[in-house]
A and B are shown apart, each in its own frame.
Chain A
Amino acid sequence: MSQSCIHWFRKGLRLHDNPALEASLRDCAELYPLFILDPTIHNSTLVGLNRWRFLLGALRDLDESLRKLNSRLFVLRGKPEEVFPKLFSEWNVTKLTYERDTEPYSVSRDEKVTSLAKKHGVTVLYKVSHTLYDIDRIIEENNGKAPLTYNKMQAIVKSLGPPKRPIPAPTAQDMKDVQTPCLDEDRYRIPSLQELELNSEGLGEEKFPGGEQEALRRLDQHMERKDWVCGFEKPQTSPNSLLPSTTVLSPYVTTGCLSARTFWWRLTDVYQGKKHSSPPVSLHGQLLWREFFYSASVGIPNFNRMEGNPVCTQVDWDNNQEYLDAWTEARTGFPFIDAIMTQLRQEGWIHHLARHAVACFLTRGDLWINWEEGQKVFEHLLLDGDWALNAGNWQWLSASTFFHQFFRVYSPVAFGKKTDKNGEYIKKYLPILKKFPSAYIYEPWKAPGSVQRAAGCIVGKDYPKPIVTHEVISKQNIQRMKAAYAKSKTDKEAESPSKKQGTKRKSDSVLDMMKKKTKAT
């Protein structure tokens, strides 16, 4: 039976390892590869300029690859539930395929579209290929709950066996009987930044071009350095090297330009027979962390919020717009933090240890702002901004969930010094501080007036004074964190107030608060 099929690209912007796309080709006479710019998620509040550029690049790359197979990418703008009914009739669609996405918005959107499709007599088919495993299966394997420790995750993965092998991209042979109408129709073309009313003036050099070709090229390049891959230990890499010291394949995995399974199996091939570092610090481990947070995002309700999130410690974060703006706009007065936030805004990528430093600084370390605010900023600016990973990592770094060693605070002064004594990274992203000597580059406010004048930069005038005194505030924050943990403990043990005459005071054990909440793991 010849089908007229729409394959709906959302993430999974690739032709390789795309089982849903493969499914769309079965018995297919007419194929419509589709991407919808949905104002609910593709808007300038959520998506920063760098991310827009990356997305459009990925779409252009996809279109190019499809044209080589005598097809093309159709791009439409609008809400999916409004766009689809028109397309169903216009294109006489009989089948709709897509790659499963577990984000809450995606799940409800897909439900709406599926019921609309049924009304139009369109069969709907989806496949799992954005994650290594089917997340529902992982949760099922863990007695219906998301694993709350990485070690539990590893155990489950071991029992499930390795992930499915990736499938190859469709070839011209596979597509020989498939037609794509409207090949030259302009109205479905990919819009430019200007057409989307985005001002491209603010954009810097494109360090990470979007697209499947670029993703695969980078993958090849890195796999060639086999010995490096085998010895890979991510925490040992430096947060402030001038060139990224890790693979920077994350933006491609997030958007699906690179399949996680393809990445996994290429690594396995490299590992074969060679001595290698084992997870979690190895590259395999990184993919497994992604899986861990995806499963948490599915199994835990309200995962991107503190309130209503059953595993997240409820903390009385401050509502301080001034602090939040200073952090977002890279003017905290701490050069290490400001340099990282500058790189983030300019390039859309920062090393993961840099993320730890700024996340800790914003939340439990110094500014005591809710991690949800940091989450929003990262979502806007990070090329690899991913709903599940963002929420999960922010909770981890703020010691709200999964992790409770709150005394381990990253010092905004000392942490960067370890790998970059002379502050080259700071000088690169904050040129105003270029002339500061290494003794003061991390703490310019301590430099005597003469040094500041010689460097052509007066603290308080050309560069901000530090927004907090780290030593004072971190001490206070450690106590606040302790209080938040204690409160959540007593909230759980809450009894009828009439029975509480006066709680019996226990000995002040700091380490009581360090206990990992090994509830249902």
Chain B
Amino acid sequence: MKRGRTSLKSKCLPFPSHEVRAKIRKWRAASRFALTHAEDWGNLPHYVVLQIFQHLSLVDRARAASVCRGWNDVFHTPDLWRRFEFELNQPTTSYLSSTHPDLVQQIIKRHAQHLQYVSFKVDSCTESAEAACDILSQLVNCTIKTLGLISTARPSFMDMAQAHFVSALTVVFVNSKSLSSIKIDDTPVDDPSLKVLVANNSHTLKLLKMSSCPHVSPAGILCVADQCHGLRELALNYHLLSDELLLSLSSEKHVHLEHLRIDVVSQNPGQTHFHSIKRSSWEALVRHSPKVNIVMYFFLYLEEFEPFFCEETPVTHLYFGRTVSKEMLGRIGLNCPRLVELVVCANGLQPLDEELIRIAERCKSLTAIGLGECEVTCSGFVEFVKICGGRLTQLSIMEEVLIPDSSYNMEQIHTEVSKHLGRLWFPDMMPTW
């Protein structure tokens, strides 16, 4: 009896074999011995320890894994390694903690084949991006389904050698063969790598996010659309959008597209030329996928908007990150019947009454609007809200946007608007410091 006791007390030493443990368990059950807490923990069944581990943070789990071989075994259960986010930061410049290099090694050695949902978060240092690619290159025997490359501060993947990046990414593309979701915004991915992606994963690919990837051409992304008929979500920059792409996404073999996000960005005024998309291409897309969300983010200079919204455009979510002209907002009222959400960061100091009222009248699906540095008279605003009525679930207007006039002052506006919305509403405020 005593011997059994002493062996149970030694939690910190590797446990005796399963056999011995089973014997002890049997003996204990038979003897109805009242055991202390310390003696129970080492004997918990694997699935119980697994459940507990799933509630622990990675750090705590790793610590617990050092307690005994049994717990260490549980720590390495494949189920705990399906999803992992590698955090790669240089300590000199980042608050953020980094995934310990030893842990990274362990994962590559023991768990590469278990990884299914993987992401890499890197800071603004090129070294971090390179480290991410080094890990990627080693994930040879794996069946990754989801891959995300996230630059938290600057696009550091763009600073590293393109060849290094592309070869690392290709390793995953070739080996996984069942990639369904890929997020590679702000990376130097190119057309050949996309070809490799398509060659190996065309049946499984559902989501592809690649905004701000300057090395890809319209032909490159067209190849993806042509082969990956299960693609439901796509995010890219406007220069990759083409009539052919939209038609390809609308082909009979293609599933319904659910989400299309387009970034329209200009770094320097007048340097980018924006082509237009034919109305018929848009129509084909909407015919094929009537419920598709088309999200457009505009970061342009005023004079660059010319090619847009001249004809009917089926955009649903519109976001203007910089100043947008009154004229453009007028065009939107005329040509965006599917509009659901509109956010305007800045317009200028001319009242937008007419434009807003037209949007209320013609965009019958509009449910959310946000106005930053703009001006609207109170009467115009009330008219807008009256027409939209209760369908406006989000109405985010800075207080300084509203100009009191002869019909309404600031106090009256909130009661009037609340009345038409059918709920209590106040404009957004900035405190006086």
Contact = CB atoms under 8 A, between A and B. Distances in A.
A317 B95 contact: yes
A407 B317 contact: no
Interface string A388-415: 0100110011000001010111010010
A498 B54 contact: yes
Contacts of A405: 370, 372, 396, 398, 428
A508 B95 contact: no
A511 B370 contact: yes
10 contacts: A150-B429, A281-B410, A289-B432, A293-B431, A319-B94, A352-B433, A471-B322, A478-B321, A502-B145, A507-B259
A328 interface: no
Nearest to A410: B373
A500 interface: yes
Contacts of A454: none
Nearest to B152: A316
B428 A319 contact: no
Contact of A500 (B83, B123, B345): B83
Given A392-B431, A396-B430, A508-B293, A514 B370 contact: yes
A235 B400 contact: yes
B94 A389 contact: no
Contacts of A352: 432-433
B124 interface: yes
Interface residues of A, number: 58
Given A280-B429, A318-B95, A475 B319 contact: no
B411 interface: yes
A89 interface: no
Interface of A: 149-151, 234-235, 277-278, 280-281, 285-286, 289, 292-293, 316-320, 352, 355-356, 368, 389, 392-393, 396-397, 403, 405, 407-409, 411, 414, 418, 469, 471-472, 474-476, 478, 480, 496-498, 500, 502, 505, 507-511, 514-516
B93 A319 contact: yes
B433 A407 contact: no
A508 B54 contact: no
A280 B427 CA distance: 11
Nearest to B321: A475
Given A150-B429, A318-B95, A278 B411 contact: yes
Contacts of B152: 316, 480
Given A392-B431, A409-B345, A505-B207, 9 more contacts: A280-B429, A316-B95, A319-B95, A352-B432, A352-B433, A368-B153, A389-B433, A496-B54, A509-B341
B233 interface: yes
A474 B345 CA distance: 12
A278 B408 CA distance: 13
B146 interface: yes
Nearest to A469: B267
Contact of B430 (A151, A235, A316): A235
B432 A285 contact: yes
B345 A408 contact: yes
Contact of A393 (B154, B233, B343, B431): B431
Contacts of B308: none
Contacts of A234: 432
A316 B95 CA distance: 8
Given A318-B124, A319-B93, A498-B54, A403 B430 contact: yes
A500 B123 CA distance: 26
B368 interface: yes
A510 B343 contact: yes
B431 A289 contact: yes
A29 to B, nearest CB: 45
B239 to A, nearest CB: 16
A508 B295 contact: yes
A509 B345 contact: no
Given A408-B373, A505-B233, A150 B431 contact: yes
B117 A502 contact: yes
Nearest to B369: A511
Interface string B40-54: 000000000001001
A381 to B, nearest CB: 14
B394 interface: yes
Interface string B389-400: 000001010111
Contacts of A474: 321
Contacts of B431: 150, 289, 292-293, 392-393, 396
B299 interface: yes
Contacts of B124: 318
A443 to B, nearest CB: 12
A278 B410 CA distance: 8
Contacts of A476: 154
B426 interface: yes
B32 interface: no
Contacts of A509: 317, 341, 368
Contacts of B368: 509, 511
A509 B317 CA distance: 8
B94 A318 contact: yes
B321 A407 contact: yes
A497 B56 CA distance: 9
B79 interface: yes
B321 A511 contact: no
Contacts of B79: 498
Contacts of A317: 95
Contacts of B346: 411, 414
B114 interface: no
Given A235-B430, A508-B295, A407 B267 contact: no
B59 to A, nearest CB: 14
Nearest to B397: A405
Interface string B253-282: 000001101000101000000000000000
A362 to B, nearest CB: 14
A22 B431 CA distance: 34
B55 interface: yes
Contacts of B123: 318
B163 interface: no
B20 interface: no
A402 to B, nearest CB: 8
Nearest to A382: B433
A353 B365 CA distance: 36
B96 interface: yes
A405 to B, nearest CB: 5
Contacts of B154: 476
Interface in B377-433: 394, 396, 398-400, 409-411, 426, 428-433
Contacts of B153: 318, 368
A407 B429 contact: no
Contact of B372 (A368, A407, A511): A407
B400 A475 contact: no
Nearest to B259: A507
Closest 4 pairs (CB-CB, A-B)? A352-B433, A319-B95, A408-B372, A511-B368
Interface centre among B83, B398, B428, B433 (most CB of A within 10 A): B433
Nearest to B263: A475
A236 to B, nearest CB: 8
A468 B349 CA distance: 27
